[in-house]
Structures are given as C-alpha cells and as structure tokens.
Amino acid sequence: MALDAETRDQLIDTVRRFVTERLRPLEAKVAEDDAMPDEVIEEMKGLGLFGLSIPEQYGGLDLSMEDECLVGVELGRTSPAFRSAFGTNVGIGSQALCMFGTEAQKEKFLPGIASGEIITSFALTEPEAGSDSANVQTRATKDGDHYVLNGAKRFITNANKAHLFTVMARTDPSKPGGGGVSAFLVERDSPGLTVGKSEKKMGQQGAHVSEVFFDNVRVPAENLIGREGEGFKVAMQVLDRGRLHISSVCIGVAERLIADCVAYASERKQFGQPLSSFQLLQGMIADSKTEALAAKALTLETARRRDAGENVTMEAAAAKYFASEMVGRVADRAVQIFGGAGYIADYGIERFYRDVRIFRIYEGTSQIQQVIIARETLKRGG
C-alpha cells in the first residue's frame, strides 16, 4: 500500500533522524564489538522497522516497494550492519510467507515478525547450491502429516538469532532441478535443528551469518509454503523483491560516502587549496554522483513498476547489478579522495569499503544478475 505523501515524508524524516542521531555515532563501536546494542534493537522495534513490508492487518507498515526503497536509501546512510538486524524480517525472511503463505500461517507468524519479536532467516544457500540455487540437497521426506528435513545450509543471515526459517528443501529427488524443491516454515526450537558459530567476515561486523543443520527435523505439513515442488519459484520471487531492497541500500551508502567525500575535500588543504578545488578530484565526485543518481532512478522506477503489478525480474536484476557495482566504485573513489586517511580505520571509510563488497555477492552475484538480464533480453528480442 502506498502511504500518502505527508505520512511517507514523516516516516523518511524519522528514519533519517534515527540514522543520524542514534546509529551513526555507534558505527565504530558496533564494528569493534561485532554486536548490536540491545537498546538499539528495541528502538528499531519501536519505530516499526521490523515490519516495514508486512501488511497492516498483521501489524506492519505495509509499505509499497517504492516507499520501502526510499526508506532503504535512508537506512543506507550508516553502516549496513544496522539494516541487517531487521533486513531479513522485512525481506527474504518474511516475503515467502507474505506472498505465498496461508491465512493460518500468516496469522500465526506475521504479527511477531512485524513487531520484531520473531526474527526470521531465509535458508536457501548450501555448500553445493550457491549461485546454482536449484541444486538444493537438503531433503524433506514426507512422513504422515509431517516432513522430515535432513541437510545443511550455509551463509544464513541472522540464523544465530532467528526464531523462524524459510527453508528450501528437496521433496522430490527424482527431479534434479528447481522442480523438486519445496519451501517450509521451520521453527528454531524444532528438535534436530542446530545453528553453527557466526562466521568471521570481511565486513559488516554486527551482522551475523552462520550454518544451519537439520538432523531429522520434523516439520508439520501445514508449514509448507505454497505447493509442493514450487519452492524454487517461491525463492526466486522473494529474491526479485529482495534485490530491489538491496539496491536501495547501496544507493544510501553511496550518498553517504559522497557527502563524506565532499566534507573532507572541502576542509582538507593541499598546495594551499582545498582538495575540492582540484579538477581531478572533482571528476571523481562527479562520477560518483552521476552513478548514484542513475542507480536511484533505475531502482525507484523498477519499484514503481513492481507496485503497478508488472513482472520486474529482469529490471530488479539490472538494478541490483548496477547499484551494487556502483557503490563498490564509489567506495573505492572515497578511499582515494581521503588518501592516506581513507586507509586508516579511525575515518571509517575503509570500513565502508569492506562493508559494501558483499552487495555484489549476496542475493545473487553480479554474474548471476548478468545471466538473468541477458536471458530475458534475448527472450524479448532486445
């Protein structure tokens, strides 16, 4: 549902102030501690951030994709680890349920997801199913009114805190591709489900990924999402949406870095002049600004088209591809503009440089986005 302009502007203003006043001062500490303060999580819950995308009738804010992206841009103006705390609830952890769940499933879980009481995770990736996500090996075998899950997932965001997983598992081993895969809601306290240690990562400290293991985990048949054998398509549609959300966060980070570069270049003097007076440096700022504007235009236009009911698989892939590569280039230029200071941890620029690297990998690598864009373009004939 689209908010009226006034309510939307108020929400954006509130999120902007929260990011500026509460989150930005904590960036270095969260990175250092690799943990998110509990009080910040509580404030995020109070602001409704866990329920941005959840329908109003279940306690969420029910934002349109366009409004979610506008909020995503604001959230991108600080360390992306903060967004990750509720990102799975807003996106990949909740959307299979929102789009394909039964009324009973929604009533049971969505209010808790919207309030942040239930943390969700999306468990698709496996050791042998990364980019080739149809190659799911985790098995789900029907046993009476249950399915029994066995297998392992990896790189699962927020698994260490999750109460509820959307798990893609193979129900039909005779079908090797996506057609034999089904999606399930699996509760964390199910006997046989264990979560591995949090992985040590290159960036985004304070956000966590872990392995998840299923050892004869019994899942009630009523927890199947959609129909048996449709789990791969469910996952792909969740990712179509998630890719737009990630694009908006990339744009926010780029805007933040451009502002930091402008502030630094205006203050720092060399050869008796501020850095900002040098045209070679202005060229870097102009390139970053142009690319950020282009990514924003593409992302918001695609979000509006999705809101209007169009299939935007190709356009969402293009947005994710362009925005994630764009913020990589912007972060690289930011290190260059800050010079030696860009390489020193105290200035925070090198942290963003590391943080943004994952955007070109998760929710589909740049190469996967290229595959999706090319396939569809070839199919359409241009």
Using rule CB under 6 A, residue 240 touches ligand COS: yes
| DSSP symbols for 159-178 | TTT-SEEEEEEES-TTS-SG
Using rule CB under 6 A, residue 246 touches ligand COS: no
Count Cα atoms within 13 angstroms, Cβ side, for 351: 18
Of the pair 47, 249, the CB lying nearest ligand COS is at 249
Contact call for residues 153 and 211 (beta carbons, < 8 A): yes
- Looking up tokens 């999705």 gives 306
Using rule CB under 6 A, residue 131 touches ligand COS: yes
Helix axes 65-75, 231-267, angle to 10 degrees: 40
Which residue of 24, 163, 233, 357 would you call a contact of ligand COS, by CB under 6 A?
233
Residues 6+ apart with CB under 8 A from 203: 351, 354, 355, 356, 357, 358
Using rule CB under 6 A, residue 237 touches ligand COS: yes
Of the pair 265, 314, the CB lying nearest ligand COS is at 314
Calpha distance 77→75 (Å, rounded): 5
Q: Is 107 known to be catalytic?
A: no
Using rule CB under 6 A, residue 371 touches ligand COS: yes
H helices present in the chain, as ranges? 5-17, 27-33, 38-47, 65-75, 80-90, 95-100, 103-115, 231-267, 279-307, 313-338, 349-355, 366-380
Using rule CB under 6 A, residue 126 touches ligand COS: no
Task: For residue 34, give the amino acid letter.
Answer: D
Which residue of 133, 138, 204, 276 would you call a contact of ligand COS, by CB under 6 A?
133
Stretch that binds ligand COS, among 30-38, 45-53, 96-104, 360-368 (CB under 6 A): 360-368
Integer CA distances (angstroms), 161 to 29, 85, 98, 158, in order: 20, 9, 21, 6
Using rule CB under 6 A, residue 124 touches ligand COS: yes
Using rule CB under 6 A, residue 209 touches ligand COS: no
Catalytic residue selected from 68, 74, 363, 376 = 363
Which residue has the closest beta carbon to ligand COS? 364
Rounded to the nearest 10 degrees, how much is the dihedral formed by the CA atoms of 39, 45, 48, 53?
130
Contact call for residues 170 and 178 (beta carbons, < 8 A): no
Of the pair 23, 65, the CB lying nearest ligand COS is at 65
Q: Taking the complex as a whole, how short is the minimal distance between the CB of residue 124 and ligand COS, in angstroms? A: 5
Which residue of 232, 264, 321, 322 would you call a contact of ligand COS, by CB under 6 A?
232
Q: Taking the complex as a whole, how short is the minimal distance between the CB of residue 63 and ligand COS, in angstroms? A: 21
Of the pair 225, 284, the CB lying nearest ligand COS is at 225
Using rule CB under 6 A, residue 368 touches ligand COS: yes
- Exposed e or buried b per residue across 186-216, where buried means at least 16 C-beta atoms within 10 angstroms of its C-beta: bbbebeebebbebeebebbbbbbbbbbbbee
Q: Taking the complex as a whole, how short is the minimal distance between the CB of residue 156 and ligand COS, in angstroms? A: 8
Calpha distance 160→206 (Å, rounded): 12
Residues 290-319 contacting ligand COS, CB under 6 A? 313
CB atoms within 10 A of CB 22: 17
Using rule CB under 6 A, residue 201 touches ligand COS: no
Residues 164-193 contacting ligand COS, CB under 6 A? 177-179
Residues 86-115 contacting ligand COS, CB under 6 A? 92
Dmax (CA) for the chain in angstroms is 79
Q: Taking the complex as a whole, how short is the minimal distance between the CB of residue 275 and ligand COS, in angstroms? A: 39
Which residue of 35, 134, 293, 294 would you call a contact of ligand COS, by CB under 6 A?
134
Using rule CB under 6 A, residue 231 touches ligand COS: no
Which residues have a catalytic role annotated? 363
> Where on the chain is the footprint of ligand COS (CB under 6 A)?
92, 122, 124-125, 131, 133-134, 177-179, 232-233, 236-237, 239-240, 313, 362-364, 368, 371-372
